[in-house]
């Protein structure tokens, strides 16, 4: 699921009045009330949201970016206090999304075009110390190889911020893994630790996701857990542990867009544009790398994509 909260500070935050391509007054739109798009705590989501928001501005809409928790945002989407969330990952957000859409107050607006993987990951050099990988059953044989002074003799797994969900604590317990789950405070801290460990060839096992630059920049593999099924999460009797759920890997699949159900009636043009939005894993990976690795300004990266892809986004708002 993520980095650079400082990117949220500045001109892009707060109420952003929609300007046309040449700047100026609002175009003729269905409502001049602001469309509230949620921002979270990882770079890709900020980019996705800003891409959509800036395109909506070009269509004349009034856009407001609102900081919100990834899972807790569904409460605001149900009430209409929030309007659009541009990244709900099949890997971690599907349960919350399905619960919200089942109420009829939130609508699934389809796939973003990106396909999500989020799973336990290790650098290739760790396979020398644990040749049974990527099979998850090798993890306990190699727990000491993945340990730190604070966790020894247990291994250490570095999870994402707790707000990302993902059930890593439950997974470790259900599969009886001799590992302590430690949660990084931020996306930036998660990948800073990977960078440091990789340079030193130090042991590390952590949450890595795609689309992202990390699995492109660093050679490594995702752990292969028992394949996810809905029964694994919902029925303790399923799987290796008959008494506990989450004894499997995380789901994989699309990254979705969702909205307050009232968006289609209040802003039908924006609704159609959001449904039409599509970017690829490759496009997103390049933009995240430009921000996180090259140090480019996030809003500048968004503006550059918009400048070079008018033929694409103009079709969203036609």
User: Is the pLDDT at 31 greater than 90, yes or no?
Assistant: yes
Give per-residue pLDDT as tens, 138-192: 999 999 999 999 999 999 999 999 989 899 999 999 999 999 999 999 999 999 9
* Cα 61 from chain centre: 26
Do 100 and 65 touch, CB atoms closer than 8 A?
A: no
Give per-residue pLDDT as tens, 197-248: 999 999 999 999 999 999 989 999 999 999 999 999 999 999 999 999 999 9
The neighbour count for residue 307, using CB atoms within 10 Å, is 8
CA distance 155 to 145: 7
User: Is the pLDDT at 108 greater than 60, yes or no?
Assistant: yes
User: Is the pLDDT at 17 greater than 60, yes or no?
Assistant: no
Angle between helices 43-58 and 268-276 (to 10 degrees): 140
CA distance 308 to 310: 6
Could you give the 3-state DSSP secondary structure of residue 125?
helix
Query: Who's near 312: CB < 8 A, 6+ residues apart?
Result: none
Q: What is the pLDDT of residue 162?
A: 92
Is residue 26 left, alpha or beta, with left meaning phi > 0 and alpha meaning psi from -120 to 50? Answer: beta
Domain boundaries in the chain? Answer: 5-114+253-316, 117-234
Do 144 and 301 touch, CB atoms closer than 8 A?
A: no
Give the pTM. Answer: 0.78
Which CATH number fits the domain 117-234, given the four candidates 3.40.50.720, 3.30.70.260, 3.30.460.80, 3.40.190.100?
3.40.190.100
User: Is the pLDDT at 16 greater than 70, yes or no?
Assistant: no
As its CATH architecture, domain 5-114+253-316 has: 3-Layer(aba) Sandwich (3.40)
Give per-residue pLDDT as tens, 243-282: 999 999 999 999 999 999 999 999 999 999 999 999 999 9
Helices (runs of H) and strands (runs of E) counted in the chain: 12, 10
* Closest by Cα among 128, 190, 131 to 162: 190
Strand partners, 208: 119
* Closest by Cα among 148, 141, 133 to 221: 133
Pick from 20-29, 274-283, 293-302, 306-315: least confident: 20-29
Query: Who's near 103: CB < 8 A, 6+ residues apart?
Result: 78
Q: Which residue has the tokens 């247990």?
A: 154
């Amino acid at each position: 699921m993520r980095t650079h909260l400082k990117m949220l500070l500045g001109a892009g935050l707060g109420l952003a009045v929609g300007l046309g391509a040449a700047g100026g007054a609002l175009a003729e739109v269905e409502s001049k009330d602001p469309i509230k798009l949620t921002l979270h705590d990882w770079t890709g989501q900020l980019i996705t949201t800003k891409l959509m928001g800036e395109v909506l501005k070009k269509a004349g809409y009034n856009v407001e970016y609102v900081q919100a928790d990834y899972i807790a945002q569904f409460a605001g989407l149900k009430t209409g206090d929030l309007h659009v969330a541009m990244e709900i990952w099949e890997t971690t957000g599907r349960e919350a999304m399905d619960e919200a859409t089942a109420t009829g107050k939130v609508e699934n607006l389809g796939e973003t075009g990106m396909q999500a993987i989020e799973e336990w990951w290790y650098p290739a050099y760790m396979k020398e110390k644990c040749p049974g990988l990527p099979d998850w059953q090798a993890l306990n044989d190699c727990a000491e190889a993945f340990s730190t002074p604070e966790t020894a003799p247990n291994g250490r797994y570095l999870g994402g911020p707790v707000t990302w969900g993902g059930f890593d604590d439950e997974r470790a317990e259900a599969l009886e893994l001799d590992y302590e789950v430690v949660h990084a405070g931020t996306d930036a801290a998660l990948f800073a630790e990977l960078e440091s460990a990789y340079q030193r060839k130090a042991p590390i096992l952590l949450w890595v996701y795609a689309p992202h630059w990390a699995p492109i920049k660093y050679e490594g593999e995702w752990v292969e857990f028992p394949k996810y099924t809905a029964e694994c999460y919902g029925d303790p009797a399923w799987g290796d542990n008959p008494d506990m759920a989450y004894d499997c890997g995380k789901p994989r699949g699309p990254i979705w867009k969702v909205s307050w159900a009232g968006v289609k009636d209040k802003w039908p043009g924006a609704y159609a544009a959001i449904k039409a939005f599509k970017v690829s894993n490759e496009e997103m990976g390049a933009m995240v790398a430009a921000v996180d690795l090259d140090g480019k300004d996030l809003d500048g990266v968004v503006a550059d994509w918009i400048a070079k892809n008018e033929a694409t986004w103009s079709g969203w708002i036609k």
